[in-house]
Structure 1
Amino acid sequence: MSTATTSPLRCWAEIDLAAFERNLKRIQAALPARMRYVAVVKADAYGHGMPQIVRRLMQSGVDCFAVANVTEAADIRHMGAGWPILVLSPLLPQEDHFVVEYDLTATVSTLGECERLNALGQANGCRIKVHLKIDTGMGRLGIWHRDAPALLTQIQAMPALQLEGVYTHFSSADSDTQFTEVQRERFLRALQSERGLAESLLIHADNSAGIDTLSNDSPYNAVRIGLLQFGVPPYPKSALGRVAVEPIFSFHTRIGLIKDLPGGTDISYARTHQLKRDSRIAVLTAGYGDGVPLELSNRGSVLIHAQRCPILGRVTMDQTIVDVTDCPSAQIGDPVVLIGKDGAHEITTTEFSEQAQTIPWETLCSVTKRVTRVYVGSREL
């Protein structure tokens, strides 16, 4: 065995699968019996590792998986037959055949896409499952809401298409409740022309950031759950945001070097920080090449021996410099918490993201492949 495979990890993320399983149970308990759970696992399950996460979701009995593209969908299909898999992004024409090969559900927004897939189904002697996306104000995917009733009628007249769902996406669920209501009204109005849709289709408008459709008198019967299942409530004021989930992700590195420097010394590239006193600095074995954002330069902090230590100067590709003058017990090789708990202190994914002037979704997806994922807290499958 090589030295590289036996040396301590320089930078790693711990994924608590036991906490993940508890989160799933709590979310499922909060959903009405008629509300189906669409588990969003795109971008390698938000950086947590798709195989390990998807296996637990399959065991928990979620109703459907949602991914960004056919490559992600194929990975899930190889893990289990029969699971509904919704591809959220548009298909390239060269990818259409994968819908048949892997038994996927496509998102459609235009008549052209529908005609393409209908021809594919006819050529293969099968019906292609689709969800129609309706653009109610996001300005991204989806048929414009005023044109949706006509396209719904056209889809249902195509012999090789099987309409299985209709959905939309809110642009400002976290910040503009008034416009979210406008979008919701547009969506419901687009569905009015097709009575009884909710009885046979998945009707979903909300994700875990903006869910407000848990009442039994609404036509919605599915919800897309992404960030919440990983223990990060996107917006606590939402209905599911009040579910007591636990963070399952923590981010760690080590001290690679400790040295003393005199006051007045400039730190890191572009000399953006100057020491105001004689200082003891630690060089950490992680940088933006691992997922420590450049925006944390001179503003973020880490936990060492349960003490907060500020980041000094510009974060570099492979190292980050922190001040350990007030943490005299720090030693080379010591673990450092970038996200997570250390004693009584904690740096949450939300705090880390706010300090980096970004959002938790990007934070989790930006932890790079060279960061080893370590899975803890659950039975072996």
Structure 2
Amino acid sequence: MERPSPARLTHSAAPDRDPPPLRPTWIEVSRSALVNNYWRLRSRLAATTKLMAVVKANAYGHGAAETARILQTAGADAFAVATLGEALELRAAGVERPILVLGYTPAAHTSLALAHSIALTLFDLETAAAMDAVARALGQTLTVHLKVNTGMNRLGVKPALAPQMVAALQGFEALRLEGVFTHFATADEVDKRHAEAQFTRFQRLLAELERNGLRPPLAHAANSAALLTMPHTHLDMVRPGIALYGLDPDAEQCPLPEGFRPALTWKTTVAQVSDLEPGEAVSYGREFIASRPMRIAALPVGYADGFPRKPQNWGSVLVHGRAAPILGRVCMDQCVVDVTAIEAECGPVRQGDEVILIGRQGGEEISAAEAGRRVGTNNYDIVSRILARVPRLYVD
């Protein structure tokens, strides 16, 4: 018997294969790509430099729990997230390595952080005092890192005030100041002047802390771009994010070196193929009206999955290794594409045929960076906006 095409994902078509995900729109994340990217970054570090893997925003859309488990097995020293809720998700998934919350955590949540051995970021004494009071009342010690604002002008204490802040934090009975860190605003740009100025400010602070016996055990600054292009910024620990996933810090100004591999592929399937007659319209608002006979395919993916509706959409997807233009508005759960030329060239498009939103099919590819260009954003935004209702499957 002829084996069904691997592009056809129906239960009856391939009984000897694992069934498709419950929803016929899903992400495949390559374990081997994640591990490959991790080791390519690790190989650039001194043996004494720790690697803190950034898995915030659901691991940039890749699925935080399983991604962290994969990277923990690979050897990641610690993990960084944006919120306490993200940290708790990792602990619930069995992640045992140190976790740092990079963003603001209200003091009211101190007991939760303590209960799950999660380090928090501080940048003001009022919050520090409140957290210390909670930790003292519980008879425990809270691990904290101080965020220093060297030029990002987001969160953080200014360098001139940081020595006083460090001294004060080390004076709290129930706080353990483990680290001090900053974040680069322009490390992914060719022009490194601002990034270098930021690092110079941070180095001066570290030198002052060292002279006064106040330097915490960990100083960290380097994101993916700085890890790759500014090796002098590695310090005690680095915090790569986007590069772990095989995506460029900036496609034009800071592309990844050879050997990194995108870990994520976003797929859906054809739900229905039908005819469209001249004068008939597609989707809400009748924004597309056919001027000729057409063959169209409905896909079970929409803006509630993170597949954007407005002001620009993806433009096209891949069907049978060819570009299929999106017609009309993307709906909440579905969209429609033109497969007229594909059928003429490649043969019939059928229900269950695999469709690529991000990834490669045949000789064609839609990368996260390309999708970002089409939508008017970047690859970070594209992968991070894929919603949790899209199943994540982990493949070799």
1:145-224 matches, cutoff 5 A: 145-175=159-189, 177-195=192-210, 201-211=217-227, 212-215=229-232, 220-224=235-239
Deviation at 1:162, TM superposition (A): 1.5
Match of 2:350 in 1: 331
Residue 346 of structure 1 corresponds to which residue in structure 2?
365
Q: Map of 1:1-381 to 2, 5 A cutoff? A: 9-80=23-94, 83-175=97-189, 177-195=192-210, 201-211=217-227, 212-215=229-232, 220-235=235-250, 241-242=256-257, 244-295=259-310, 297=312, 300-328=315-343, 329=347, 330-377=349-396
Name the SS for the 1:326 alignment partner.
helix
State the 1:198 CA deviation. 10
User: Closer, same or farther in 2 for the Cα pair 1:270/1:237, shift >3 Å?
Assistant: closer
TM-score, normalised to structure 1, is: 0.88
Work out the number of aligned pairs and report it: 372
User: C-alpha displacement at 1:296, in angstroms?
Assistant: 7.6
Distance 1:308 1:236, change over 3 A: closer
Q: Where does structure 2 lack aligned partners over 5 or more consecutive residues?
A: 1-10, 12-18
Contact 1:209 1:238 in 2 (8 A): no
Are 1:213 and 1:220, in contact at CA under 8 Å, matched by a contact in 2?
no
Task: Out of 229-238 and 328-337, give the one that drifted further.
Answer: 229-238
CA distance in 2, matches of 1:190, 1:206: 16
- Counterparts of 2:206 and 2:371 in 1: how far apart (Å)? 41
Q: CA deviation at 1:31?
A: 2.0
Per-residue deviation, 1:51: 2.5
1:151 CA drift (Å): 0.9
5+ residue gaps in structure 1?
A: none
Which AA in structure 2 matches 1:116?
A: A
SS in 2 for 1:340: strand
Whether the aligned pair in 1 keeps the contact of 2:283 and 2:329 (CA below 8 Å) is yes
- The answer on whether the counterparts of 2:102 and 2:120 sit within 8 Å (CA) in structure 1 is yes
C-alpha distance after superposition, 1:326-365 (max 9, x if no partner)? 1112222211111111011111111112211122222222
Q: 2:126 & 2:216 partners in 1: Cα distance?
A: 24
User: Quick check: 1:87–1:105 contact (8 Å CA) kept in 2?
Assistant: yes
| CA deviations over 1:6-33 (Å, ceiling 9, x no partner) | 8874211111112222222222122222
Deviation at 1:240, TM superposition (A): 8.9
The more displaced of 352-361 and 306-315 is 352-361
Structure 2 Cα separation of the partners of residues 66 and 229 of structure 1? 13
Q: 1:236 to 1:331 in 2, by over 3 A?
A: closer
Name the SS for the 2:52 alignment partner.
Answer: strand
Question: 1:264, CA displacement in angstroms?
Answer: 4.8
- Displacement of 1:106 in angstroms is 1.0
CA–CA distance in structure 1, aligned partners of residues 302 and 326 of structure 2: 11
Q: How far did residue 149 of structure 1 move?
A: 1.9
Question: CA shift at 1:276, angstroms?
Answer: 4.4
Contact 1:11 1:286 in 2 (8 A): yes
TM-score normalised by length of structure 2: 0.85
Alpha carbons of structure 1 residues 19 and 142: separation in structure 2 relative to 1, 3 Å: same
* Matching residue's letter, 2:137: A
Considering only aligned residues, what root-mean-square deviation do their CA atoms show, in Å? 2.6
User: 1:30 is paired with a residue of what secondary structure?
Assistant: coil
Q: SS at the partner of 1:361?
A: helix
- CA change 1:256–1:187 in 2 (3 A) is same
Q: Is the 8 A contact 2:100 2:119 kept in 1?
A: yes
Q: Which moved more, 1:238-247 or 1:32-41?
A: 238-247
Q: Given the superposition, is the C-alpha separation of residues 273 and 299 from structure 1 closer, same or farther in structure 2, using an over 3 Å criterion? A: farther
Distance 1:299 1:75, change over 3 A: closer
Note the alpha carbon deviations across 1:221-243, whole angstroms, 9 max, x for none. Answer: 21111111111122368889326
231 and 43 in structure 1: CA distance in 2 versus 1, 3 angstrom threshold? same
Pick which of 94-103 and 193-202 moved more: 193-202
Percent identical among aligned pairs is 36
Partner amino acid, structure 2, of 1:58: Q
Q: What secondary structure sits across from 2:292 in the alignment?
A: coil
**Equivalent position amino acid for 1:363 in 2:** I
